[in-house]
Amino acid sequence: MAEERSRNFIENEIDKDLKEGVYDHVHTRFPPEPNGYLHIGHAKSILLNYGLAKEYGGKFNLRFDDTNPTKEKSEFVESIKEDVKWLGADYEDRLFFASDYFDRMYEAAVTLIKKGLAYVSKLTADEIREYRGTLTEPGKNDPDRDRSIEENLELFEKMKAGDFADGEVTLRAKIDMASSNINMRDPIIYRVAHLSHQNTGDKWCIYPMYDFAHPLEDAFEGITHSICTLEFEDHRPLYNWVVDNVGFEMPPRQIEFAKLYLKDVVTGKRYIKKLVEDGTVDGWDDPRLVSIAGLRRRGYTPDSLRLFVELSGVSKANSVSEMPLLEYCIREDLKQKDKRIMAVLDPIRLVIDNYPEGQVEMVKGTNNPDNPELGEREIPLGRELYIEREDFMEEPPKKYFRLFPGNEVRLMNAYFVKCVSFEKDADGKISVVHCTYDPETKQGTDKEMPRKVKGTIHWVHADSAVKFTARLYENIVDEEKGVYDENGNVNVNPNSLVVMKECYAEPELKGAKAYDSFQFVRNGFFCVDAKDSKDDDIVMNRVVSLKSSFKLPVQQG
Ligand code: ATP
Ligand code: MG
């Protein structure tokens, strides 16, 4: 699939660490906060972390960063586990919850206090902000900064015991109020919050801050390379300060990479939540969303996402990827894997006047010319067929090579047919096209064709057709207006979902199960909808159309 690529900067760092003996193995993790569904950006992080562990023969942890008691939900825990597994990032039995470490985090804070490196502060949130200084001015020392170790230990104990109200006191790391890095100006590491937690219940009324908790979680699990996104770069000195001062034999190191941004898509949890709540989309797994659940339901495969992550690269520089690259990746994957069958989405009847009534014959079709392993199939043909409405025109424009009165075309995999007449319904719409066929033109025989035709159209035998519903999608975002309007609402594309209720496919579609996918010739790749499809009422989502003007950029290096 992908060609040999040059090593990315994270691999270079890891190579160096292993060579210098900083670490003798590699252990990575994916640490989601269970406060929403995962999206394509998280897929990048998952595949990157898992891929590195695998590449170096190391381990990979899935860890829920559930230190924040207000937001977590078990619905999200379950969906995240499912998504990570589906992507193929096998965490085996290494599933962890940060809240299981609350006792050890508390002990780590006590260690810092005992070293004179943390103190209980009575400043209010506003005062702390005021004392912090600015980018150009140093901060001021907290009046409680030099309180004795014994007193700090006692006060911290009281914090834990619930003797203080929310916000009344905090535990601060004692670092440097004059640091040029504001994150190092005595950051808060514990706060009082009388909230129950989904995992620990009412055991705690103090909770660790992210910048303190995260490095500890990594260190407790023996993570070597803690890979995160660029916004944490300025927090790295604090990360190092925590692991160095709490004291670990082989402390983890943080490496930052640029987030994946996709142009013109909605990824913000808050916006998706709104779309779900106001019914614009059918849940977090709506096939128009780039949530992993939505992509899966749409018909994307783990292989296609892996290729996408590979092609979008790992770098320190922010960049924006485009949907057409993602679409390229799923086409590349499915064009190899899927059977190519005929299905008509907007049907009109075609009657072959000179074909014997009641007769059915089988013609041969190649399942995938690019993948001979998929073999051949037999396709029934009879007197009455369905063809696409757009494959017939009463008065064709120039260069229209499909059916029109007097014109002859090939029925894909079958015979030449010539249009002899047509019928209209009461509304003046074409309802039936009449043709005659030439028995001497059957495809797949060795006979030379008596003449040439310019057009080939696909068709489905009416009596044996499988009826189904097709859902055709466009971006949920109205790209001309941009993703969000001035009130922070998504500019929804009114054509983002078109439902075609009367579609017909070859019998091959019979028995199709959730996530099965097919290429419908000329119409695109389609996948059985996992939520709404039933055995006797199949619903197919169009994953992607066949054509694109997208060209894979020439890769550097
Ligand atoms: P929140 O704003 O709620 O924190 P989040 O997207 O950062 O949202 P997390 O659960 O904290 O959600 O993310 C888990 C991991 O996924 C983090 O390590 C984060 O750096 C990574 N991640 C999040 N978004 C992207 C992205 N767009 N590209 C690559 N990695 C990402
Ligand atoms: Mg986050």
Instruction: Note the pLDDT of residue 1.
Output: 43
Q: Measuring CA to CA, which residue among 218, 205, 114 is closest to residue 167?
A: 205
Instruction: Note the pLDDT of residue 394.
Output: 97
Instruction: Note the pLDDT of residue 4.
Output: 63
Query: Does 318 score more than 90 pLDDT?
Result: no
Q: Which domains does the chain have, with CATH numbers?
A: 10-99+209-261 (3.40.50.620), 102-207 (3.90.800.10), 269-337 (1.10.1160.10), 350-456 (2.40.240.10), 467-544 (2.40.240.10)
Instruction: Note the pLDDT of residue 554.
Output: 58
Burial class for 374, CB neighbours closer than 10 Å (0-12, 13-18, 19+): middle
The 10 Å CB-count burial string (b at 16+, else e) for 114-148 is eeebbbbbebeeeebeebbbeeeeebeebebeebe
pTM confidence score: 0.93
Counts of helices then strands in the chain (DSSP H, E): 12, 27
Partners of 472 in beta bridges: 498
Mutate-to-test residue for ligand 1 from 28, 42, 312, highest number of ligand atoms within 8 A of CB:
42
Instruction: Note the pLDDT of residue 447.
Output: 82
Write the pLDDT tens digit of every residue in 173-211. Answer: 999 999 999 999 999 999 999 999 989 999 999 999 999
Average pLDDT, the chain: 95
Burial class for 548, CB neighbours closer than 10 Å (0-12, 13-18, 19+): exposed
Interhelix angle 302-312/40-55, nearest 10 degrees: 80
Instruction: Note the pLDDT of residue 73.
Output: 78
Mutate-to-test residue for ligand 1 from 10, 33, 46, highest number of ligand atoms within 8 A of CB:
33
CA distance 238 to 225: 16
Residue 447 identity (one-letter amino acid) = K
How does residue 267 score in pLDDT terms, banded at 50, 70 and 90?
A: confident
How far, in Å, from the CA of 42 to the mean position of ligand 1?
Answer: 6
Write the pLDDT tens digit of every residue in 428-438. Answer: 999 999 999 99
Residues across the chain: 557
Alpha carbon separation from 482 to 40, 270, 514 (Å, rounded):
19, 17, 33
- Asked if residues 441 and 352 have their Cβ atoms less than 8 Å apart, the reply is no
Looking at the chain, the whole-number percentage of residues with pLDDT higher than 90 is 90
CA distance 123 to 129: 9
Residues with CB under 6 A from ligand 1: 31-33, 35, 41-42, 44-45, 228-229, 259-260, 269
Write the pLDDT tens digit of every residue in 111-141. Answer: 999 999 999 999 999 999 999 999 999 999 9
Query: Does 557 score more than 70 pLDDT?
Result: no
| 420 three-state secondary structure | strand
| DSSP H helical ranges for 247-380 | 269-277, 292-298, 302-312, 323-337
Query: Does 71 score more than 70 pLDDT?
Result: no
Alpha carbon separation from 371 to 40, 301, 366, 376 (Å, rounded):
29, 18, 9, 11
Instruction: Note the pLDDT of residue 94.
Output: 98
Q: Measuring CA to CA, which residue among 333, 339, 286, 338 is closest to residue 308?
A: 333
Mutate-to-test residue for ligand 1 from 229, 271, 309, 326, highest number of ligand atoms within 8 A of CB:
229
- Asked if residues 470 and 540 have their Cβ atoms less than 8 Å apart, the reply is yes
Write the pLDDT tens digit of every residue in 494-553. Answer: 999 999 999 999 999 999 999 999 999 999 999 999 999 999 999 999 999 998 766 766
Instruction: Note the pLDDT of residue 552.
Output: 66
